[in-house]
Structures are given as C-alpha cells and as structure tokens.
C-alpha cells in the first residue's frame, strides 16, 4: 500500500456488511484540519444491516470531508481525504478504486478488455424488420387494407394492436394521400415514404435540438419495488376510483417534485439574447406515440396538481393522443418532458430534448431483476431512469441532482410526502 506514496489519501466507503451497496453517513467525529491516526474512528455510518463506526486507515490531517452527514454514499466512493504530509502532492485524476474485498468497484468508465483474436464478423446482415403483430391483428389489417409497416405500434412489446390498425385506417398516413405521380419511381428493392406532417416536424425539431443543445445523458438504475407496491394500493383507493394508476403516474409525480426542488432545470436557453429563461410554471410534456407519430402534449402547471388531478390529466392526454385528437394548444408550452419508453419493453435510452426545454426524463421498462436488497440478492422491481439535459444551462451537478432526486423518490415513495 506504500508502494506509491501519495500525499493525499482517500478513504473509500467500505462494504461493512456482506455485499452492501451503500451506507449513510450518520455523524462525522472529525473535522477538516483535525489530526487523525491509523485506526481512529472518524465517522459513524448506517447500512441496511447495522450502524457501525469507521476507522481511518491513515495517519495525517483531515484534508476534506467529502460528504455531509445524512448523505448515502455508494460503497467504493471516497468519503474523506487525509493529508499524510509525505509523498508526492500531485493531484491525481479520479481513478477507479477497487473496494478490496468488498463487492464491486466505484462506478466509473468500464473498459472491457479486448479479445485479441477476432471473433465472428460483427456486421451481419440484419434480417428484414417485420412489424410485430398477433395473427388476428395481421388479418384485421389485411381486411382493412392497412399496411402494418406504416402503423405506429403501441402494444406493450412494441407490437401493433388492433386499436393501432383501426386508428391507422381512420387516419390514413399522408403517404397514401399523395398522388403517385409526385413520387420518384422507387427502385424495385426500396419504398420511398415522403416526409410530411408530424414526421417532418419531429425530424426538424430533433435536428434543431440535437445540434444546438449540447446533450448530456445520465442514467440511474433504481429499485422501485416500493413504488410498484404503492401503485397497487392506490389502484384500489377510493380517491383514485376510475383513474388510471400506473408507474408512469408516480414517475411523473417524482420528476415534478425533483424539478420543484431544483427549479433552475425548468428553464430554456435564449440564443439570440444570450439569456437563460427561468420558467415560473412547470408544464409537463409527455411523449406519446400516436397514429400521427411522436407528439409531446403538455399538462399545464402539472406540479400544482393533486395526484388524482395529475392521473386524470395524464389519462386524458394519453387517450386523446392515441385517438389522434390532441388539441394543438396542448402541443405547446411544455417546459420539461417525460417519455415512457418502458412501454416498449426497453431498458433505457438517450432521449433528445424537446426544443426549448432543458431536461427530458426517460422511464425504462420495470421488471423483476436480481438486486442486492438488505444484503441479499433477491428479485426486486427495477427500472432505469435516463435524464438528458442541455449542458449550456444545466451543469452535471444540477442534472445529477434532478435525476438522483427522482430516483430517490421512486425508490422510497414516502419521500413524496416529505419532499413535495
């Protein structure tokens, strides 16, 4: 351990149980500037299993306490820096610190070692992508003369449902309305689809957003078992009678609370005037796959709604979008956006910001996964949240707080009472 003496030594949060992921710092027993000796207890931490004291493994002077009391810190994350007074003082870049005999390592960029021998060629010919649909739906589409390839799927596994086919039949896509003569003669092995309407608007918006706002996307995987339990309970609750209660509702609520707690994220960038525009109202955009394509209708002042009001607004919004009757006014004015890509069964993604906004949260699929809970690997309901933000006005600090807050609220929805 003394092979490469460094002046500033970091003490990473140890795994004081067997396979714990994090621990909460309850109390610091030393302060910056205090002299410490190897083996001296410097703080008390509490894990899912026990409250324990941590002894520092260095002699020296406390240089920095990295986290305040009350912070839950991942195992492997440095919590205190000690100036040992000897060795080289050069500031080292943060490095990946193994947790010794604990479990796992500090989170950081993972570089998988590269196999020297070439394996099978990576570029295989992709099979033709057939739209997913159950046989009766295929027959239904055939009967109505609807091409499944142009139907926007909304099924739980990204499959085309009977409703999708019906909607596509009622709102034929612009493709079919164009006179054939306007189209260039397609090559025999391809189909050319003119870009119009929502598709064109979406494309323009995405290009404008992706190439003006420097995007950063962060991810957090979180145990949402308690949220799922709460969803089940709320479903039977008289206050929520007749309302659609699902994980999206609580995700929306958690995100809104996180935005309220970090209001600087509810803002936009004014390039022309070189100003940051802080929005006083929180209008929640909800990305919706509709027969017309991707739409982002908004719920105005969503942060001020009660849970039943929010559920009603979400229900109305999704129904209207699905039926293709979203009022144009609802398509403007969102300030932050939530996209539920989990309905397609995918884990997560890197969402592109709705133009004029600074944050978009993607909710991944929720399902049972092996998870370390109270020191044991047990099946837990787990999801991954992804937050993209505009790095011109949202720093990693702010973006991370919004994401971490949202995750914390979904991990323990009781916090919705204390933090709202």
Partner 1 sequence: MSGDGIRLLTPEGERVTHPEYGLDAGPEELRALYRDMALARRFDAEGVTLQRQGELGLWPSLLGQEAAQVGSVRALADGDHVFPSYREHAVALCRGLDPLVLLRLFRGVDHGAWDPDAHGFHLYTLVIGSQTLHATGYACGVAKDGSDAAVLAYFGDGATSQGDVAEAFNFAAVYDAPVVFFCQNNQWAISEPNARQTRVPLHQRAQGYGFPGVRVDGNDVLAVLAVTRAALEHVRSGRGPFLVEAFTYRMGAHTTSDDPTRYRDSAEVESWRAKDPLLRLERLLRREELADDAFFAEVTAEGEALAVRVREGVRSMPSPAPEELFDHVYAEAHGEVDRERAEFAAYQASFAEEG
108 makes contact with partner 1 (CB under 8 A) = no
Cα–Cα distance, 247 to 231 (Å, whole number): 7
Q: For residues 101 and 126, which CB has a smaller minimum distance to partner 1 in the complex?
A: 101
Q: Given candidates 22, 34, 53, 309, which one binds partner 1 under the rule CB under 8 A?
A: 53
- The least CB distance from residue 18 to partner 1, in Å, is 5
51 makes contact with partner 1 (CB under 8 A) = yes
Is 391 labeled as catalytic in the residue annotation?
A: yes
The catalytically annotated residue of 63, 215, 373, 391 is: 391
- The least CB distance from residue 38 to partner 1, in Å, is 7
- The least CB distance from residue 133 to partner 1, in Å, is 44
* Binding residues among 11-30 for partner 1 as defined by CB under 8 A: 11-12, 14-18
122 makes contact with partner 1 (CB under 8 A) = no
Helix 225-235 and helix 396-411, axial crossing angle in degrees, nearest 10: 50
How far the first Cα of the chain sits from its last, in Å, is 47
Q: For residues 41 and 346, which CB has a smaller minimum distance to partner 1 in the complex?
A: 41
Residues 194-226: b if buried by 16+ CB within 10 A, e if exposed: eeeebbebbeebeeebeeebebbbbbbebbbbe
Cα–Cα distance, 394 to 400 (Å, whole number): 10
Angle 258-268-350 (CA atoms, 0-180°, nearest 5)? 65
- The least CB distance from residue 222 to partner 1, in Å, is 24
Q: Say if residues 267 and 213 touch (Cβ distance below 8 Å).
A: no
* Listed ranges 43-51, 202-210, 274-282, 410-418: which one lies at the site for partner 1 (CB under 8 A): 43-51
Q: For residues 50 and 378, which CB has a smaller minimum distance to partner 1 in the complex?
A: 50
174 makes contact with partner 1 (CB under 8 A) = no
β-sheet bridge partners, residue 390: 215
Q: For residues 104 and 333, which CB has a smaller minimum distance to partner 1 in the complex?
A: 104
Cα–Cα distance, 350 to 110 (Å, whole number): 18
Residues 97-122: b if buried by 16+ CB within 10 A, e if exposed: eebeebeeebeeeeeeeeeeeeeeee
1 makes contact with partner 1 (CB under 8 A) = yes
Q: Say if residues 106 and 76 touch (Cβ distance below 8 Å).
A: yes
* Listed ranges 114-122, 136-144, 173-181, 397-405: which one lies at the site for partner 1 (CB under 8 A): 114-122
307 Cβ neighbours under 8 A, 6+ residues apart: 234, 239, 240, 249, 253
57 makes contact with partner 1 (CB under 8 A) = yes
Q: Given candidates 7, 49, 261, 391, which one binds partner 1 under the rule CB under 8 A?
A: 49
377 makes contact with partner 1 (CB under 8 A) = no
Cα–Cα distance, 22 to 409 (Å, whole number): 17
Residues contributing to the site for partner 1 (CB under 8 A):
1-2, 11-12, 14-18, 38-39, 49-57, 99-102, 111, 113-117, 375
**Enzyme catalytic residues:** 391
């Amino acid at each position: 351990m003394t092979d490469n003496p460094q002046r500033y030594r970091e003490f990473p949060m140890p795994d004081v149980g067997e396979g714990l992921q994090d621990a909460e710092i309850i109390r610091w027993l030393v302060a910056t500037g205090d002299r410490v000796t190897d083996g001296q207890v410097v703080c008390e931490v509490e894990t899912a299993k026990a409250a324990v004291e941590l002894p520092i493994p260095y002699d020296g002077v406390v240089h920095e306490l990295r986290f305040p009391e009350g912070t839950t810190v991942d195992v492997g994350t440095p919590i205190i820096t000690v100036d040992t007074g000897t060795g080289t003082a050069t500031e080292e870049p943060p490095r990946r610190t193994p947790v010794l005999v604990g479990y796992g390592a500090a989170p950081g960029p993972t570089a998988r070692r590269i196999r020297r021998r070439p394996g099978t060629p990576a570029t295989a010919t992709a099979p033709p992508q057939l739209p997913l649909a159950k046989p009766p739906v295929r027959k239904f589409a055939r009967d109505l003369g609807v091409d499944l390839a142009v139907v926007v799927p909304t099924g739980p596994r990204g499959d085309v449902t009977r409703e999708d086919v019906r909607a596509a039949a009622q709102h034929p896509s612009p493709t079919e309305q164009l006179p054939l003569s306007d189209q260039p003669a397609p090559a025999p092995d391809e189909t050319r689809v003119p870009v119009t309407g929502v598709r064109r608007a979406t494309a323009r918006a995405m290009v404008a957003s992706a190439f003006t706002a420097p995007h950063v996307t962060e991810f957090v995987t979180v145990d949402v078992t308690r949220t799922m339990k709460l969803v089940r309970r709320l479903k039977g609750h008289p206050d929520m009678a007749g309302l659609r209660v699902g994980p999206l509702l609580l995700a929306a609520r958690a995100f809104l609370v996180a935005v309220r707690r970090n209001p600087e994220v509810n803002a936009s960038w004014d390039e022309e005037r070189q100003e940051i525009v802080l929005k006083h109202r929180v209008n929640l955009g909800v990305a919706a796959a509709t027969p017309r394509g991707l739409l982002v209708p908004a719920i105005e002042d969503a942060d001020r709604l009660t849970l039943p009001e929010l559920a009603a607004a979400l229900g109305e919004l999704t129904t209207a979008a699905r039926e293709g009757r979203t009022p144009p006014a609802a398509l403007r004015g969102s300030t932050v956006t939530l996209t539920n890509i989990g309905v397609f069964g995918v884990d997560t993604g890197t969402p592109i910001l709705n133009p004029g906004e600074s944050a978009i949260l993607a909710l991944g699929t929720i399902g049972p996964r092996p998870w370390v809970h109270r020191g044991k690997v047990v099946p837990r309901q787990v999801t991954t949240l992804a937050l993209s933000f505009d790095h011109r006005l949202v720093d990693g600090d702010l973006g991370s707080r919004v994401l971490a807050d949202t995750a914390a609220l979904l991990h323990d929805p009781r916090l919705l009472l204390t933090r709202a």
